[in-house]
Structures are given as structure tokens and as C-alpha cells.
A = this chain, B = another copy of it.
Amino acid sequence: MVKQVTEMLKGTLEGIVLAILSVRPAYGYEITAWLRDQGFTDIAEGTIYALLVRIEQRGLVDVQKIPSEKGPPRKVYSLNAQGQLYLDDFWRTWSFLTERLEQLRDRIERPQEEGE
């Protein structure tokens, strides 16, 4: 029943990853693990990698291949200037959405103020 989060993540997950990369560069496996840690337990492995490929192709991130002690080399992504602009847009869009949703929720909780 509750696959809502899957659909709600569309468009948002991208912003989340860019936001993570704005804190510091990271690679796919690391990001996935961190997200699971934060409670996004149902984010599939492949999802993050596909997303990273997309944002790389759009030129929002720079990539560096760095050898790992244990396993194949890591692709470390870092946010570039264009990515930062896109992230700013993301936060604006997100704020717009949250404001509208908050208004709706308020109206539902206080039906007498239905003034419209």
C-alpha cells in the first residue's frame, strides 16, 4: 500500500543527492549507504547510480575516478557551478511546494478559516 514515497521521491531524490554533494564530494555507494542510514530504506542500489549518470550527463557535477583499497575504483562526484545553480532552483521549487502544502494542511486542521 505505502509505495507513496517512491512516487514522491521523483524529482526530489535528485535534489537530495545534489544537496549531499554540495556538502562534500561523494561516490555512489557512499551516498546510497548514507540515505539508507537516514531512513530511506527502500531506495534501490541501482537508483542512485542511474541518477548520478543523469546529472553527470547534464553537466551538474564533475567526476573523478579514485582507486579504492577494497573493491573497484570509486567515481567521486562533486557539485560544480552549474549544479549549484540547479540546486538553488531546486530549493526554490521545494519551498514553493512545501508552502502550498502547509497552507493546505493548515486549512484542513482549521476548517472554520476556509476563507476563500
| Chain A interfacial positions (CB closer than 8 Å to B) | 1-2, 4-12, 14-16, 19-20, 22-24, 38-40, 89-91, 93-94, 96-98, 100-101, 103-105, 107-108, 111, 114
Knowing A2-B93, A93-B5 touch, does A108 contact B10 (C-beta < 8 A)?
Answer: no
Q: Which residue of B lies closest to A14 (CB)?
A: B7
Q: Does A108 lie within 8 Å of B19, measured CB to CB?
A: yes
Give Cα A98 to B107, complex, Å. 19
This protein's copies in its complex: 2
Smallest CB-CB separation from A93: which chain B residue?
B4
Q: Let me know if B101 and A4 touch, CB within 8 A.
A: no
Q: Are A89 and B4 in contact (CB under 8 A)?
A: yes
